[in-house]
Amino acid sequence: MSQFVFDPPVQPFAPVHGGGAFPVRRILCIGKNYADHVKEMGGDAKTDPPVFFTKPADAVVPSGVVVPYPPGTDDLHFEGELVVALHRGGRDLKTREEAGALIFGTACGCDLTRRDLQAAAKKRGAPWDTAKAFDSSAPIGPIGRSTEFPPRDARLVTRVNGDIRQDAMLSTMIWTVPEVICALSGLFELRAGDLIFMGTPAGVGALNPGDHVEVAIGDLPKLSFSIGRQA
Ligand code: MN
């Protein structure tokens, strides 16, 4: 008989392109990883380096769903991002080769953000959790299997209601995928099932109920979702 005093939560997962489910252990995110986005937020990448934050594993939502407009905000923003999925773990990784050995595949993601709560948190020097780690805050498209690093010349394009809002080369990321994996592995023990949201380029903006978001990166399967009424 189980010792659990109630049924444990269902394992969150992200669909894999071509079949199968990627069990999500944790969601690690990098902010301020594109200079033009740091600039549009009023900062300077030279003096304001990238930062890490997290979302709970059960914040993932698959492509093709309606994401309810979250409570507690009047300024929900989209952030189109590359997502890296790990099928192996490690600690204190130092080299590109060591980092590459962890990669299961990559996907298109969206780091949904309560921008008003983030601005208030920044002002107070308070944590970002309510701005970033809310329910359904991590839509992710089907994971494309590839043990290679994503091509640096691939474009990340975010469309809202068909209009292009973000368009950037992955090569404009400040910290590269292997650099981020190595840095994270010095702060956390990385494990199979970890997802890494790699940060967003310029062009972020507000979403309203009824809006349709599409994130495309190179030839990866697209992420697409709509915003619904407040939950
Ligand atoms: Mn982000």
Distance of CA 17 to the CA centre of its chain: 18
Distance between Cα 177 and ligand 1 center (Å): 15
Query: What does the pLDDT look like over 145-165, one tens digit per residue?
Result: 998 888 889 999 999 999 999
Query: What does the pLDDT look like over 15-74, one tens digit per residue?
Result: 999 999 999 999 999 999 999 999 999 999 999 899 999 999 999 999 999 999 999 999
Distance between Cα 209 and ligand 1 center (Å): 21
Distance between Cα 6 and ligand 1 center (Å): 34
Q: What kind of fold does domain 22-60+72-228 have according to CATH? A: Fumarylacetoacetate hydrolase; domain 2 (3.90.850)
Question: Is this prediction's pTM over 0.75?
Answer: yes
Distance between Cα 29 and ligand 1 center (Å): 7
Report the distance separating Cα 95 and Cα 34, nearest Å. 22
Average pLDDT over residues 65-86: 98
Single-letter amino acid, residue 110: C
Distance between Cα 78 and ligand 1 center (Å): 8
Strand order in the sheet with 163-169: 66-69, 223-230, 212-217, 155-160, 163-169
Closest CA to 86 of 64, 109, 103: 103
Distance between Cα 67 and ligand 1 center (Å): 17
Report the distance separating Cα 77 and Cα 65, nearest Å. 17
